[in-house]
């Protein structure tokens, strides 16, 4: 597997790809649309030789098969024998690369592709906080919890309601994912880059707006024609020189009537070119 090294070069290329998609209109709201992400993925593959989405898809499919398997927290991957991996290679092309090391930058790839690929049902990963199914549909930990303190009536009632919702059609308890209250969710590199691109695009738009001023050149030149200054007139000629500056455009627009605007342009021309 090609491990993504987020060095200065790779990060710069990713920023360029995101910025290109923003300029192409592939960011309808806060995030890129599916077309934008597909172009970013293709660009990363073309420029850096990194096949992002297919690796992510293969990894997620592999995790669907891991019921009853071992897990290596150091390598971050599944621990099984040759026969298991041989069958997995047939069913999931490209998964062999994950035998020695799990998917790198999974959080960032989840941000990019989690909502735009389909891999089937949700998986349950042993490297997450999972619970083993008991023979009678009840975990040992849950049995101990239920026997702790009868005095906590309100808490136990809520737990009972939650536990009931976790029982599947076979009468067995579904694995329950418990998030540590003390841990804050991590922000992936791709999300940080996307936020940076959004900020840069906003700043660029703000800068362009300030540079253009209250009135654009096209808008003001339209008013020049409306006040009677045709293309071949001296007034239109002087306007084409003056209105490259936003201060001159704003001054022209302050005159309330076309007659006053035309007269002002005439005086400007005579002041510069008249004898």
Domain ranges of the chain: 1-130+186-212, 132-176, 217-273
User: What is the spatial distance between Cα 41 and Cα 47, in angstroms, rounded to a whole number?
Assistant: 10
User: What is the spatial distance between Cα 63 and Cα 61, in angstroms, rounded to a whole number?
Assistant: 5
Tens digits of per-residue pLDDT, 132-188?
444 444 444 454 444 444 444 445 555 555 554 455 545 555 555 555 555 555 556
Q: Decide which of 59 and 120 is more confident.
A: 59
What predicted TM-score, i.e. pTM, was given to this entire model?
0.30
User: What is the spatial distance between Cα 16 and Cα 67, in angstroms, rounded to a whole number?
Assistant: 40
Of the pLDDT bands very low, low, confident and very high (cuts 50, 70, 90), residue 50 is low
User: What is the spatial distance between Cα 73 and Cα 25, in angstroms, rounded to a whole number?
Assistant: 41
Q: Which of 14, 3, 176, 178 is nearest to 76 (CA)?
A: 3
What is the chain's Cα-based Rg? 32
- At residue 125, the pLDDT reads 44
């Amino acid at each position: 597997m090609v491990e993504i090294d987020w060095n200065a070069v790779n990060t710069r290329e990713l920023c360029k790809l995101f910025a290109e998609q923003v300029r192409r209109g592939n960011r309808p709201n806060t995030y890129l649309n599916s077309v934008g992400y597909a172009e970013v993925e293709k660009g990363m593959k073309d420029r850096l030789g990194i096949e992002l989405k297919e690796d992510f898809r293969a990894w997620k499919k592999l995790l669907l098969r891991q019921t009853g398997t071992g897990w290596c927290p150091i390598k971050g991957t599944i621990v099984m024998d040759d026969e298991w991996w041989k069958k997995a290679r047939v069913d999931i092309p490209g998964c062999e690369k994950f035998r020695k090391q799990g998917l790198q930058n999974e959080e960032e790839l989840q941000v990019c592709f989690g909502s735009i690929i389909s891999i089937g049902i949700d998986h349950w990963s042993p490297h997450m906080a999972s619970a083993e199914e008991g023979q009678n549909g009840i975990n040992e930990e849950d049995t101990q919890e239920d026997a702790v303190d009868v005095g906590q009536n309100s808490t136990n009632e809520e737990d009972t309601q939650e536990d009931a919702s976790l029982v599947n059609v076979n009468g067995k308890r579904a694995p329950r994912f418990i998030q540590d209250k003390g841990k804050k969710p991590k922000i992936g590199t791709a999300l940080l880059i996307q936020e940076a691109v959004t900020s840069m695009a906003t700043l660029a738009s703000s800068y362009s707006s300030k540079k253009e001023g209250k009135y654009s050149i096209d808008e003001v030149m339209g008013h020049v024609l409306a006040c009677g200054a045709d293309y071949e007139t001296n007034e239109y000629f002087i306007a084409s020189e003056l209105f490259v500056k936003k201060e001159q455009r704003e001054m022209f627009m302050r005159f309330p009537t076309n007659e006053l605007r035309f007269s002002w342009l005439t005086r400007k021309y005579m002041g510069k070119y008249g004898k």
